[in-house]
């Protein structure tokens, strides 16, 4: 059914403006039959952040910003879904057009600006599915006009703790002015201290809600040293590496479209994001697991990201070009690799190539 859906929908959606196509995709997922996914190969199961993931492949934040279809995505075979970014107040985001396809590069540029329905609406939707199984993380951000952005994060942790499988503290979107400044050492330490304090306050009534930090792939290695040191000292549960990039490689084919302001995702981000996974992995020294994001569009790319140091992986942009069948393709390839190499689980290969990757020339 998924193959047939892809064959019909992918050419059709290309005729639409990218943001309109995205809206149609959300509506289409609402109509999918409520059929449970096929059970995953047990070898694909991952234990991370105190949670049991049926497989390592997640839908990245940005697709289902307001928690409209998390269970439909889980039924497609994702091991987990991350909704958001959610802000306390509803937010329209930046003016349109703000989403662009780079077809020949299999890439996307977005400058959405944290458009979402706001904390109250998203909370209602997640509360309505609280009786269902499946790991649904909540990616939290600050309103553009907030006078106290740290307070926004704290409020969202306190609000969503009863319904969030985990939290992602997003300080790395390039589309909210000044947000990435929260990655600077002093600001990040203050933010994480208050977020972790909020996590502890709600633990007794809401249970454990792991907190992850999502960073940009554009950090310098000195900045990464500071970020990982602070994440370890504040005892975050994990990191996501990484968000979209503001860099533009000269190898991009769609050079005119590449001039659009915003964050670049998709295939051209793969080498940089994978290098940053490896650099983060060697600095974390096993203190917490990583989720690797950026340019994953095949089983081979997923395997490379895992061997660089990612215990879990996420994708989004590649679905625009490869379709929903990519989910099963990646899981099948990973399971075949484990069978062929005699491995019992993916945990045995996490970070296997990290040292080698960090010794290579810097990707350009």
SS3 264: strand
Q: Residue 85: is the preceding peptide bond cis (ω within 30°)?
A: yes
Q: Residue 168 is inside which H or E element, if any?
A: strand 167-170
Q: What is the dihedral of CA 340, 341, 347, 353, to 10 degrees?
A: -120
| CA 48 to centroid of chain Cα atoms | 15
Whole-angstrom distance, CA of residue 68 vs CA of residue 346: 31
Q: Say if strands 263-266 and 211-215 run parallel, antiparallel, or are unpaired.
A: unpaired
Is 250 catalytic? The answer is: no
Q: Residue 212 is inside which H or E element, if any?
A: strand 211-215
**Catalytic residue (one of 85, 172, 173, 265):** 173
Q: Residue 20: is the preceding peptide bond cis (ω within 30°)?
A: no
Whole-angstrom distance, CA of residue 224 vs CA of residue 45: 29
Q: What residues does 107 pair with on adjacent strands?
A: 102, 266
Q: What residues does 293 pair with on adjacent strands?
A: 314
CB atoms within 10 A of CB 8: 10
- C-alpha angle with apex 173: 145 to 113, nearest 5 degrees? 50
DSSP one-letter code for 35: P
DSSP one-letter code for 270: H
Q: Which residues are catalytic?
A: 173
């Amino acid at each position: 059914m998924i193959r047939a859906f892809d064959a019909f929908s992918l050419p059709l959606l290309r005729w639409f403006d990218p943001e309109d196509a995205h809206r149609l995709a959300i509506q289409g997922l609402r109509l999918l039959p409520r059929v449970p996914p096929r059970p995953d190969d047990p070898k694909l199961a991952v234990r991370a952040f105190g949670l049991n993931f049926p497989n390592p492949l997640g839908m990245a934040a940005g697709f289902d910003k307001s928690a409209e279809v998390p269970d439909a995505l889980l039924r497609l075979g994702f091991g987990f879904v991350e909704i958001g970014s959610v802000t306390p107040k509803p937010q329209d985001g930046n003016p349109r057009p703000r989403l662009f396809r780079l077809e020949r590069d299999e890439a996307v540029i977005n400058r959405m600006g944290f458009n979402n329905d706001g904390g109250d609406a998203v909370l209602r939707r997640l509360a309505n599915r609280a009786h269902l199984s499946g790991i649904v993380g909540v990616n939290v951000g600050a309103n553009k006009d907030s006078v106290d952005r740290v307070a926004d994060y704290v409020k969202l942790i306190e609000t969503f703790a009863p319904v969030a499988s985990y939290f992602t503290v997003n300080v790395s979107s390039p589309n909210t002015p000044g947000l990435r400044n929260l990655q600077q050492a002093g600001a990040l330490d203050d933010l994480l201290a208050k977020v972790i304090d909020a996590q502890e306050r709600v633990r007794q009534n809401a249970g454990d809600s792991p907190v992850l930090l999502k960073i940009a792939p554009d950090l310098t290695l000195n900045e990464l040293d500071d970020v990982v040191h602070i994440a370890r000292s504040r005892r975050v549960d994990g990191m996501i590496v990484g968000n979209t990039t503001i860099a533009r490689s000269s190898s991009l084919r769609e050079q005119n479209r590449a001039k659009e302001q915003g964050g670049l995702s998709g295939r051209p981000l793969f080498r940089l994001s994978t290098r940053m996974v490896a650099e983060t992995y060697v600095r974390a020294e096993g203190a917490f697991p990583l989720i690797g994001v950026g340019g994953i569009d095949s089983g081979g790319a997923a395997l490379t990201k895992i061997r660089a140091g990612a215990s879990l992986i996420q994708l989004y942009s590649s679905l625009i070009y490869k379709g929903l069948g990519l989910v099963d393709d990646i899981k099948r390839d990973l399971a075949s690799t484990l069978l062929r190499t005699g491995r019992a689980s993916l945990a045995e290969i996490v970070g296997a190539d990290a040292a080698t990757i960090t010794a290579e020339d810097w990707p350009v």
